[in-house]
């Protein structure tokens, strides 16, 4: 009797363990503004990156860009968490030297120019907790226009001795130059 009770107890414990693990595997639905990353060099096989940004990609969905990223207000550069910028080497934003490291990247949109902001804050949701006192660098850059993009997008290229981080959403385009 003892042997069969022991085997039954072990079998019951094993079944409970399996059912607990199955029930624990709940996956969230796809985020409406999925996270993405852009880096330079853009060749994904090149492990020697100089700069990378991780951000979420909201969609316009018939809404005006000015409602989602209002002029004159600090914007998290995407959706959800504020964009996270990693510099793998010391760089400059305008005339300001920025040491290699990880930062939060914000922008202040405007009709004719945007202000790009590198902040030492980390792990920040949105721009609700933005503190100007924690700015590491700021640079005003001109706004241009291009083909309409439904999803907020970031890409990099190199031109005129700068690594340009291109921001695009709707027909708005902004190029933020970083130099070594």
**Cβ atoms of residues 80 and 56 within 8 Å:** yes
Beta strands in the chain (DSSP E): 35-40, 51-56, 83-87, 91-93, 96-98, 101-108, 113-119, 135-159, 162-179
Using one digit for the tens of pLDDT, what is the confidence trace for 70-101? 999 999 999 999 999 999 999 999 999 999 99
Indicate the SS3 state at residue 137.
strand
Q: Indicate yes or no: pTM above 0.85.
A: no
Residue 40 token pair: 């330079």
Residue 9 vs residue 46, higher pLDDT: 46
Q: Which of the four pLDDT bands, split at 50, 70 and 90, describes residue 18?
A: low
Distance, in Å, from the CA atom of 21 to the CA atom of 13, rounded to the nearest integer, reads: 12
Question: What span, in angstroms and rounded, lies between the C-alpha atoms of 150 and 60?
Answer: 5
pLDDT at 11: 57
30-71: per-residue pLDDT in tens?
888 889 999 999 777 767 899 999 999 999 999 999 999 999
pLDDT at 8 over 70: no
> Residue 9: in which H helix or E strand, if any?
helix 2-24
The whole-number average pLDDT for the span 107-116 is 98
Q: What is the mean pLDDT of residues 106-113?
A: 97
Q: Where are the domains of the chain?
A: 29-179
- In this prediction, residue 32 carries a pLDDT of 87
């Amino acid at each position: 009797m003892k042997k069969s009770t022991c085997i039954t107890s072990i079998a019951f414990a094993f079944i409970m363990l399996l059912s607990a693990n199955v029930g624990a595997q709940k996956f969230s639905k796809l985020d409406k503004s999925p996270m993405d990353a852009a880096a330079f060099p853009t060749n994904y096989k090149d492990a020697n990156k100089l700069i990378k940004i991780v951000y979420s990609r909201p969609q316009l969905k018939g809404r005006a860009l000015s409602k989602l990223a209002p002029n004159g207000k600090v914007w998290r550069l995407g959706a959800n968490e504020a964009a996270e910028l990693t510099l793998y080497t010391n760089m400059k934003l305008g005339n300001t030297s920025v040491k290699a490291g990880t930062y939060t990247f914000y922008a202040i949109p405007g009709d004719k120019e945007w202000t790009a902001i590198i902040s030492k804050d980390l792990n920040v949701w949105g721009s609700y907790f933005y503190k100007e006192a924690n700015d590491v660098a700021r640079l005003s850059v001109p706004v241009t226009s291009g083909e309409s993009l439904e999803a907020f997008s970031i890409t990099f290229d190199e031109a005129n001795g700068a690594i340009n981080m291109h921001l695009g959403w709707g027909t708005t385009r902004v190029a933020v130059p970083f130099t070594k």
